[in-house]
Amino acid sequence: DSGVTQTPKHLITATGQRVTLRCSPRSGDLSVYWYQQSLDQGLQFLIQYYNGEERAKGNILERFSAQQFPDLHSELNLSSLELGDSALYFCASSEPTSGGSGELFFGEGSRLTVL
């Protein structure tokens, strides 16, 4: 158990819909990262927050947005869903080091299926 909690574990929805994925980082970790894993793209970095502020952005679509709340939990919002958005979405957290740590603790992921 990594200590990172993600909900829901599974989600099935229809094209055009909007969903919210939730992540609680390990106790004491200030950084939260979101990654997308699909069969054809592998593990892709989406976005990182550090203590409530956006720190780094990857190939995140404009239809996707995220935020980190004062209690440090994070939410990833996916809207106008398309079939290609079906994937595993992982949240990870890391210890509060300056510059960011590459030692990430991943949650078990949220599997999104868009029909």
Closest C-alpha to 104, from 16, 51, 32: 32
Give the nearest distance from C-beta 76 to another protein in angstroms. Answer: 15
- 38: Cβ contacts below 8 Å, ≥ 6 apart: 44, 86, 87, 88
Give the nearest distance from C-beta 16 to another protein in angstroms. Answer: 28
- Residue closer to another protein by CB (options 90, 114) is 90
Alpha-carbon torsion, ordered 5, 114, 46, 59, to 10 deg? 180
Give the nearest distance from C-beta 111 to another protein in angstroms. Answer: 8
Provide the binding-site residues for another protein, judged by CB under 8 A. Answer: 2, 4, 31, 33, 42-45, 48, 50, 55-56, 58, 90, 92, 94, 99-109
